[in-house]
Structure 1
Amino acid sequence: MQIDARGKAVKHKSQARFRDHDGHLRPVSAYGTSKTAAERALLKKLQDRAKTGQHAGELTAMHKMNVLIDLFEAKFKEWVKDGKRSPSSLDNYQGAIKNHIRPALGELRIGEATTPRIDTVVAHIKQRAGAARAKTCRSILSGMMKLAVRYGAITVNPVREIETIEAQPKNPPRALTSDEVTLLRRSLAADGRAVEADLPDLTTFMLCTGVRIGEALAVHWHQVDLEAGTAEITHTIVRVKGQGLLRKGTKSRAGERLLHLPNWALAVLRARHAAGIRARHATGIRLDGPVFPDTHGGYRDPSNTRRALRTALSPVGSTARRDLGLTLRALRRETGLTRKQVADHLNWPQTRVELIETGRITVDHQLVQTLVATYGIDLDHRHALRTQVHDATQPAESDKLAWIRSHALRKTTATALDQAGHTARQIADQLGQARVSITQDIYLGRQSANPAAAQALERVFDEPEMP
């Protein structure tokens, strides 16, 4: 007990001896502003110590969550090394841990990470970063707390009881029509930048197989049998932080598959093979090299390829749109501004300015007026520029392609097979998916009507009598 100058107690100490989980007696003390407060603090300390002792192991309920997070990351790296988890999953999880989980929970003790607390954290993540990110964080936290149970820090995984997150897709499954496929292939073939990025042949291969973009980029020439008309899918390309591009096994065992190719796809591959042999003095064909290499004959980055595809699918809609873009670029350069400076001033992504200046985005009067105001120009007083804007806002056929992303090619393949009468299991095998439900819910476009249903019901019931 501490006493002040007037002889009054300012701090009380309560002490006891506690038999720890290892059998040794150790002194435990606590302080309070009164004798009762000190005794209560000591009792709480003893209860926490007893709770910790019941679950003795490498972790205890008194350890901070940061310790558990570090352990989970170390374990996950071991799983990646053993081939049980994907390196891309590790990168994704580490980003979620760094940006969301560690700041919110890292300084808590493991025993304090209760179901209500974790539920609140995940709800905030959903509000800030969206349902998909919150779902990832929930999965990570479940794995962490499962590890805590296994190591004896807690007895029940508190994440099991938190609210399930339903991440609805932004867009419903949509497949390209036959006309859209024709328009897509024609548009890519006529786009110089798309041809330079080797997108026409890659897109054809993805449409005729349904493979993921990383799987297409991982196919080697020795895996293509031009005589039998088959392609073997065994690997995918991923970028791993600190290691660069890696060719790793497919996402699951279901991803390893032998696919038969339609004749129009074989024609594309035969042409590539013949062109590669003729160009042997350059990169040439290597049996252990990729069918769709980068400019140096190595592996292509899937992210860069997706970006190139997105750019190509925001095509130059018309000559008028292209000419307007060139005019806007000239006006920006006259002011001495860079695209980044303009984007920062308008709070736009930098790519938006680029797409406008290359004629690859639909524009309207208000959009251009906002942009040129940055250059000190009043659009209403520039008759020639107004005329260009009017001409550029007219619709173009290629605008129909702007919605397409790389996964739409897989959906198109799946839906085409569905319409041809293939079962969901057969389609899942084609796409390399272990769960048929994923194929049905995400990759198959819903049929608007089923005329055969009425005929089938008529045959079964044959005008049932009314009571």
Structure 2
Amino acid sequence: MPRPPLPIGTHGKIRVYQSGSMWRALTKFRDFDGVTRSVERVGKTKAAAQRQLKQALTERTATVAEVVAPSTRFREVAEQWFRSVQAAAAQGTRSPTTVDVYRSQLDRHVLPALGELRIQEVTVPRVDSFLSALRSQSGTSTAKTSRTVVSGVLGLAVRHGAIPNNPVRETARIEEGHKSAPRALTAAERTRFLDQLESDETASGRDIPDLVRFMLATGVRIGEALAVCWPEVDCEAGLVSVNFTVVRVKGKGLVRKSTKSSSGERTLPLPSWAVEMLRRRESKRGDREEPVFPDSLGGLRDPSNTRRDLRKARGTEEFTWVTSHVFRKTAATILDEAGLSARVVADQLGHSRPSLTQDVYLGRKAVTEDAATALETVFDSESE
């Protein structure tokens, strides 16, 4: 019975012979193309010949390092997969923040638990046990993100033929548990909340009242609101273009990047009270190209810092539950109560699926004027 071939990218036993005044070290190496070839190096001593051969084998192995075999360590495959995520971000098909999140999950959770296992050892029971323990220790959200990372790594292994299927698919679902119903500000609460913000000198000095008005008028995310610059605002037509969001990228700082999807790129009509607010701000602006809601130096504003300013301004009693996303849900609820279809509301929010809007936000492109008309009632306490 013939001897089985060497695995791709591996070598056989190293043999060393003396040849005259020199020493020869040689072995067999199976290359990426499946052909087994002899590799030989010489040295003045036996040890020198072995060192030269091992160095040559290391260099040769590097040429097939991207090959994933059943015996490849999970850590090596993970790094290969992560490089593909980085490449996708460089091409604009992945968000830079996704790169940072995946790197964090790999370093903090996934690699410490699975990194030294061989790919063939990363079985359904092992992955299931890891995710279950992670959920108990760090919460559902962290477990779900780590599940996505592990699935991506093992998916790469499947494509290389190292394993027949992705074990993550057979693990138990990570359930969210009971979710409270979406909560939106009522008309009376909206008025009281804005009054509270206006009376707070720090909040007013940091543009929080106008920012909240803008988010209520449009239903945009806080990063999208902070990314809007004056060239994207047309007060004469009463329109604002929402094409970007502000994110912080490691090593680069704050940047404007395209919205989550093509559905996120939209032109929104504005209610008249929002146009008046923007006209007032426009008359005081500095650089025509600067953001509508800039930082103290006229540049991009950090969404995280802005959320912190909002938390401080909302007080500790009636409005402790209010976050920046509540304004988005409030706008969606107003549109729903006005009888607009789920499709129209989804287009206003930049969702590709109306079901997401209905499931999460209710308690494309150019959007119908009915949306702006409905949002005229944001501060109308008699509309309840």
TM-score normalised over the length of structure 2: 0.78
Residue 273 in structure 1 maps to residue 282 in structure 2: yes
- For 1:199 and 1:22, locate their aligned partners in 2 and report how far apart those are by CA, in whole Å: 61
Task: Show the 5 A alignment for 1:420-435.
Answer: 420-435=338-353
Task: Show the 5 A alignment for 1:175-324.
Answer: 175-276=184-285, 284-286=286-288, 288-314=289-315
Shift of 1:285: 3.5
Contact persistence 1:19–1:26 (CA under 8 A): no
- For 1:266 and 1:25, locate their aligned partners in 2 and report how far apart those are by CA, in whole Å: 72
TM-score normalised over the length of structure 1: 0.64
- For 1:63 and 1:24, locate their aligned partners in 2 and report how far apart those are by CA, in whole Å: 12
| CA deviation profile, 1:305-340 (whole Å, cap 9, x unmatched) | 0111111112xxxxxxxxxxxxxxxxxxxxxxxxxx
Task: Show the 5 A alignment for 1:347-362.
Answer: 361=316
Number of residue pairs matched? 312
TM-aligned CA distance change 1:171 to 1:98, over 3 Å: farther
| CA deviation profile, 1:64-85 (whole Å, cap 9, x unmatched) | 1110111111110001011111
With 175-184 and 19-28 compared, the bigger mean Cα shift is at 19-28
| CA deviation profile, 1:354-392 (whole Å, cap 9, x unmatched) | xxxxxxx4xxxxxxxxxxxxxxxxxxxxxxxxxxxxxxx
What runs of 5+ residues in structure 2 fail to find an aligned partner? 15-64, 364-384
Contact persistence 2:151–2:168 (CA under 8 A): yes
- Equivalent residue, structure 2, for 1:355: none
Contact persistence 2:66–2:80 (CA under 8 A): no
- Equivalent residue, structure 2, for 1:82: 91
- For 1:405 and 1:150, locate their aligned partners in 2 and report how far apart those are by CA, in whole Å: 42
Shift of 1:155: 1.6
- For 1:24 and 1:410, locate their aligned partners in 2 and report how far apart those are by CA, in whole Å: 57
- For 2:347 and 2:127, locate their aligned partners in 1 and report how far apart those are by CA, in whole Å: 38
The one-letter code matched in structure 2 to 1:58 is V
- Equivalent residue, structure 2, for 1:34: none
- For 2:268 and 2:248, locate their aligned partners in 1 and report how far apart those are by CA, in whole Å: 25
TM-aligned CA distance change 1:303 to 1:170, over 3 Å: farther
Contact persistence 1:57–1:153 (CA under 8 A): no
Which structure dedicates a bigger proportion of its chain to helix? 1
Residue 115 in structure 1 maps to residue 124 in structure 2: yes
TM-aligned CA distance change 1:267 to 1:109, over 3 Å: same
- For 1:312 and 1:25, locate their aligned partners in 2 and report how far apart those are by CA, in whole Å: 67
- For 1:295 and 1:148, locate their aligned partners in 2 and report how far apart those are by CA, in whole Å: 49
- For 1:96 and 1:25, locate their aligned partners in 2 and report how far apart those are by CA, in whole Å: 35
Task: Show the 5 A alignment for 1:325-364.
Answer: 361=316
- For 1:249 and 1:25, locate their aligned partners in 2 and report how far apart those are by CA, in whole Å: 48
Secondary structure of residue in 2 paired with 1:19: coil
- For 1:134 and 1:176, locate their aligned partners in 2 and report how far apart those are by CA, in whole Å: 31
Secondary structure of residue in 1 paired with 2:93: coil
- Equivalent residue, structure 2, for 1:437: 355
What runs of 5+ residues in structure 1 fail to find an aligned partner? 1-15, 29-55, 277-283, 315-360, 362-398, 446-467
- For 1:23 and 1:98, locate their aligned partners in 2 and report how far apart those are by CA, in whole Å: 27
Looking at CA atoms only, which structure, 1 or 2, has the larger radius of gyration?
A: 1
Shift of 1:152: 2.2
2:6 to 5, 17, 20: 20
- For 2:8 and 2:99, locate their aligned partners in 1 and report how far apart those are by CA, in whole Å: 36
- For 1:300 and 1:255, locate their aligned partners in 2 and report how far apart those are by CA, in whole Å: 20
Contact persistence 1:273–1:285 (CA under 8 A): no
- Equivalent residue, structure 2, for 1:418: 336
